[in-house]
Amino acid sequence: MEAANLSVAATGVALPLGSEACSIGPSPGGVVGSTPGGAALPGREPPFSVFTVLVVTLLVLLIAATFLWNLLVLVTILRVRAFHRVPHNLVASTALSDVLVAALVMPLSLVSELSAGRRWRLGRSLCHVWISFDVLCCTASIWNVAAIALDRYWTITRHLQYTLRARRRASALMIALTWALSALIALAPLLFGWGEGYDARRQRCQVSQEPSYAVFSTCGAFYLPLGVVLFVYWKIYKAAKFRFGRRRRRAVLPLPATLQVKEAPQEAEMVVFAARRPVVAFQTSGDSWREQKEKRAAVMVGILIGVFVLCWIPFFLAELISPLCACSLPPIWKSIFLWLGYSNSFFNPLIYTAFNKNYNNAFKSLFSKQR
């Protein structure tokens, strides 16, 4: 997957910042250098401007934070026995794909963007390895989000049929399908000769530009899982709305003729009984433990899906529309969309651990033991 050059001009000097990662469409070459009059200075490496240094520093911090946070989640799941079960294996699969994005994809993307003219000087073999890991890890990260959303949806709407044993089977199947489909999309150009990603003459490394592969990869890597998560979010919303309406109807209850106040701490309920004749009482309590758990799961899924859509949809919309209309976005926007998509790997662990107190307690115990 690819983004175009991010050309930053400062006092007549332009620095190319572009990546070939996580993209389907072509992009124009970068700017090597320029004079105030616009004449190119081939062979000269432009000096770094202050703005460029700030941008590069932010990207390096993003890479480091993404790697460390996802690695912390993986270590926690491996060391805490309570996490060796569903649904933490789905969280572990997501963290694994995201930590690979940070370790293998983002650094080489940054190196490619900083090189003059975005030339690839690391050889054909490493180019193919980089492109394959790029598509594999980004696609797996996206599909893992869809798998977590599906698991939460079945837990909320089918909690009687969706037992722990059923969840284990379903999660194992979803993880296997996620990585198998991601590997198929990533390795299709190499296995079936579906275009060439490395151009030795131009020293260019990018995802195959075959139109048929572009449609196949964008649909398989984004638009299909996008449809899944939007469907899941709609169904969760309908289920929550139905339960809320049912609770409202049960809020008014006919009661026996005994005067007393009854408190139920576990359900956080208070029911008032009037004397001599049945009257109407209102249920003023909060939610049950299970309802609170389902609410947290629904909120987590909504935020996870919302961040996923905001991070990736600009990039994939641009990659789908550009080939169809034979037009191209400005290079700076392509790079912004690319790194916005990469940032989803940073937000994922923050979201699904923020709504689980067990992770916070595990993190504290992990660091306290190390001290």
Q: Among candidates 110, 57, 72, 84, which has minimal Cα distance to 348?
A: 72
Positions of the chain with pLDDT lower than 70, given as ranges: 1-48, 116-118, 240, 242-291, 293-294, 323-324, 326, 369-371
pLDDT confidence of residue 310: 93
Closest CA to 233 of 356, 355, 170, 149: 149
Half-sphere exposure of 353 (CA within 13 A, CB side): 23
CA-to-CA distance for 182 and 185, rounded, in angstroms?
Answer: 5
Q: What are the angstrom distances between the C-alpha of 360 and each of 31, 64, 89, 291, 354?
A: 46, 21, 17, 21, 8
Beta-bridge partner residues of 253: 281
**Residue reference for tokens 């909320």:** 156
First to last CA, the chain: 42
pLDDT at res. 323: 65
What pTM does this model have? 0.75
**CA distances to 82, 215, 266, 346 from 225, in Å:** 29, 14, 39, 19
pLDDT tens, position by position, 51-70: 889 999 999 999 999 999 99
What pLDDT was estimated at residue 49? Answer: 82
Question: Could you give the CA distance from residue 193 to residue 189 in angstroms, rounded to a whole number?
Answer: 5
What pLDDT is stored for residue 117 in this prediction?
63
Query: What is the C-alpha separation between 244 and 246, in angstroms, rounded?
Result: 5
SS3 22: coil
CB atoms within 10 A of CB 24: 28
Q: Note the pLDDT of residue 239.
A: 75
Nearest C-alpha neighbor of 88 from the set 136, 141, 148, 162:
148
Convert the pLDDT of each residue in 120-139 to its tens digit. Answer: 878 788 888 989 999 999 99
Strand partners, 18: 5
Measured CA to CA in angstroms, residue 83 lies from 10, 30, 75, 80, 190 at distances of 50, 47, 11, 6, 37
pLDDT tens-place string over residues 159-170: 788 888 889 899
DSSP state of 31: P
Counting beta carbons within 10 angstroms of the beta carbon of residue 360, is it exposed (0 to 12), middle (13 to 18) or buried (19 or more)? exposed
DSSP 84: S
The full set of domains in the chain, from first to last, is 51-250+296-362 (1.20.1070.10)
